[in-house]
């Protein structure tokens, strides 16, 4: 999936449901954002390791701008002010 964030499109993938059905009712699972390392890589190398945690967490993987399946955009926009995800 892709999301339009500022001036680019960021690719993201989600493992696991956001809700869990339990005897007491439905509860919301915690969300974990999996952020890949430096330039030239994407999120796919993390999936085999982290996907088993999707039974307990909702896992959100994303590719930084210009990496993996995210849009490339102008190199001048690769700044800390334009980081992919805002906290």
Q: What is the pLDDT of residue 87?
A: 42
pLDDT in tens, 10-28: 899 999 999 998 899 999 9
Model pTM? 0.76
- Residue that is written with structure tokens 């959100």 in the block: 60
Of residues 47, 41, 53, 57, the one with CA closest to residue 13? 47
Strand 2-5, strand 8-15: pairing: antiparallel
Contact 15, 51 (CB under 8 A): yes
How far, in Å, are 22, 25, 47, 57 from residue 68 at the CA level? 36, 38, 14, 23
């Amino acid at each position: 999936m892709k999301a339009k964030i500022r001036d680019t499109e960021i690719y993201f993938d989600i493992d696991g449901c956001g809700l869990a059905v339990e005897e007491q009712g439905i509860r919301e699972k915690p969300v974990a954002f999996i952020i890949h390392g430096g330039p030239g890589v994407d999120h796919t190398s993390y999936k085999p390791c982290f996907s088993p945690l999707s039974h307990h967490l909702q896992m959100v993987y994303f590719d930084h701008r210009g990496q993996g399946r995210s849009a490339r955009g102008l190199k001048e926009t690769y700044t800390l002010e334009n980081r992919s995800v805002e906290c």
